[in-house]
């Protein structure tokens, strides 16, 4: 697995999501950009899906065994702010039922620079649980 290529693909995908989210639904290019995003998601899942699903399965088994693993693209944030070391919002990613934080809203999010999975719990807890 080429970590640099994975990170580049992840950044490109998130940037396309950002581009789409900035547009109103009635914008002339909304449908075209949405189609480009879907194509990027399909390519990303085809290229890196098996690898990332294996990683996600291991993370889920450790942290949230009662929560189903989704496609890797479900774990992406809508925006990374262009920063290295980005800390995601507590509202980004996939909701999980974390054994470590029972009864609290926990989310797993896949972020770049470097490629890693972050567990967010509420507004205060951000815990890196995997890095490529």
Task: Look up the domain containing 107 and give its range.
Answer: 3-131
**How many structural domains does the chain have?**
1
The per-type count for the chain, helices as H runs and strands as E runs, is: 2, 4
C-alpha 37/C-alpha 103 separation (Å) is 34
3-state secondary structure of 86: coil
What value does the mean pLDDT of the chain take?
92
Between these two residues, 34 and 1, which has the higher pLDDT value? Answer: 34
Phi, psi of 100 (to 5 degrees): -70, -30
Q: For 29-82, how does the pLDDT look when each residue is reduced to its tens digit (9 = 90+)?
A: 999 999 999 999 999 999 999 999 999 999 999 999 999 999 999 999 987 765
pTM of the model: 0.89
| Rg, C-alpha atoms of the chain | 15
């Amino acid at each position: 697995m080429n970590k640099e290529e994975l990170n580049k693909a992840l950044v490109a995908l998130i940037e396309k999501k950002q581009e789409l989210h900035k547009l109103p639904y009635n914008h002339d290019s909304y449908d075209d950009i949405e189609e480009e995003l879907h194509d990027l998601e399909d390519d990303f899942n085809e290229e890196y899906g098996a690898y990332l699903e294996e990683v996600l399965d291991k993370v889920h088994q450790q942290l949230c065994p009662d929560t189903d693993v989704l496609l890797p693209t479900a774990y992406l944030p809508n925006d990374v702010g262009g920063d290295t070391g980005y800390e995601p919002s507590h509202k980004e990613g996939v909701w999980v039922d974390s054994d470590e934080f029972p009864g609290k809203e926990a989310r797993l999010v896949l972020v770049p620079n470097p490629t890693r999975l972050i567990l967010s719990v509420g507004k205060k807890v951000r815990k890196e649980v995997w890095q490529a």
